[in-house]
Amino acid sequence: MQNDVKKQLEEELEKYHKGIGEFTPYYPGMKILSSELYKGQLKDVLELIKKQNETEANSFAIYLDTIIINMHTKVKKYKKSIYFDNENIKDIENQGYTIVFFIDEKKDKYALLGLLKSKALSE
């Protein structure tokens, strides 16, 4: 499990660096980009939560949006990712999930690489 997670994240980062794959703005005009992996994982997580409680799924999505929209103002508070030895890749912990993102200082952008169940490496 842990190697698969790390490999997926590494592949998304490589796609970003090579300019391949689809990294679309989180919202139009934003400097925050979403990878296909992130979008797929978010969809899966929301469907899973929705099966248990639709209100909780909506609440999770709204809270996650708030975190992501404001992440650029709090980037220094987030810890270095447990998946990479790189200070420009950070983890945001939220309600049992980890958002892994890359800070592209040259382009002044942030790339959301993945959304994982927290502590995926220890599973």
Residue 2 pLDDT level (bands cut at 50, 70, 90): low
| Structure confidence at residue 121 as a pLDDT band (50, 70, 90) | very low
Strand order in the sheet with 97-104: 24-25, 32-34, 109-117, 97-104, 89-94, 79-80
The span from the CA of 66 to the CA of 26, in Å, is 12
Over residues 25-50, the pLDDT tens digits come to 999 989 999 999 999 999 999 999 99
| Alpha carbon distance 12, 22 (integer Å) | 10
CATH number for the 2-122 domain, one of 1.10.3210.10, 3.40.50.11540, 3.40.30.10, 3.30.2310.20?
Answer: 3.30.2310.20
Query: Domain coordinates of the chain in residue numbers?
Result: 2-122
CA distance 78 to 117: 17
Instruction: Decide: 99 and 68 in contact? Cβ < 8 Å.
Output: yes
Q: What does pLDDT average to over the chain?
A: 91
89 beta partners: 102
Residue 117 and residue 41 in contact, taking contact as beta carbons nearer than 8 Å:
no
Residue 86 has a pLDDT of 96
Q: For the ranges 2-6, 43-47, 67-71, which has the lowest average pLDDT?
A: 2-6
The residue-averaged pLDDT of 75-87 equals: 94
